Amino acid sequence: MNTIIKTENLTKYYGKHLGMKDLNLEINQGEIFGFLGPNGAGKSTTIRMILHLLKPTSGQVSIFGKKVSKYYAQIYNDLGNLPGELKMYEHLSGQYFLDYMSSFFEKEPKWQSELVEAFQLNSIILAKKLKYYSHGMKQKLGIIQALQHDPALIIMDEPTEGLDPLNKVILYDYLRKFKDQGKTIFFSSHDLSEVEKICDRVGLVRSGQLIALEHISELKKKMVRRMEIYFKSKYNPADFKDSNISIIDQQPDRLIITVKGDINLIIKILSKYNLSNLVFPEPSLEETFMQFYKN
């Protein structure tokens, strides 16, 4: 299996402030790799070093088996990048922006027309100047410019920021499509549920350090999910005593719990009760970190 991105003891300090320390990663061809952590964890710093936009304090990055510091000009043509906090030339039209970004590559914008249609950016919208675009529209345009030239490696920093649920699904579908074609995706996010949906493996970072490297199947076993249960009749608290269940709050008609790992146990317990409501938010990144990676 080909290694597409390799980082070796990659470290960045901003003066005395740590950005990332001793990062060692190997990301393989044809996988969607999630880089997961809260804001300020070092995700964007890492991406900028991978893209040779930021010089590391020590360590090195290789892409396609070539050192980025020496061969970036050769590597660039096969990269697609969506930066975080995307900035654009506001005086350009949407179409001019896409064509301008395409002009930096030797390849034709193979996917431009299909992606424009998928994200519902018609010719009228694309003729408008970017200063009139909403945040979500700009984000869609940024995604298109990153994918349009059919890159072998796609690097995305918080790509769903500003997207509505429908457009998130469109993005996920295209990333899976690119993965099926053997392309590699490096996907930075602070959203645990998002990474769970789309990624094969995930690296968890906190305070500038990699604290875990997991296959998604293993990560799911360690997720902590919060659940609010509303009962129509009296319930027995003893039913909810299990090593994977923690009771957070207990009322006569309501129970708030956290569930670790497999949710089938709690579903089986609840099946014998008559419920008035069940609130089951997305799994919490913070609670998962605190539960499993606090040491």
CA 47 to mean position of chain CA atoms: 12
Which residue positions in the chain have pLDDT lower than 70? 283-295
**What is the pLDDT at residue 112?**
97
Say what the pLDDT of residue 292 is: 53
Two structure tokens written together for 104: 């930096």
Q: Do 247 and 256 touch, CB atoms closer than 8 A?
A: yes
pLDDT at 224: 80
Q: What is the pLDDT of residue 295?
A: 46
Give the H or E element holding residue 145.
helix 135-147
* pLDDT of the residue at 192: 81
Q: What is the pLDDT of residues 140-178, one digit of tens each?
A: 999 999 999 999 999 999 999 999 999 999 999 999 999
Structural domains in the chain?
3-220 (3.40.50.300), 223-292 (3.30.70.80)
- Name, in order, each residue with C-beta under 8 angstroms of 253's C-beta and a sequence gap of 6 or more: 230, 231, 232, 276
pLDDT value of residue 247: 92
**If DSSP codes are grouped into helix, strand and coil, which group holds residue 26?**
strand
Q: Are 247 and 259 in contact (CB under 8 A)?
A: no
SS3 content of the chain, % helix, strand, coil (to 5): 35, 30, 35
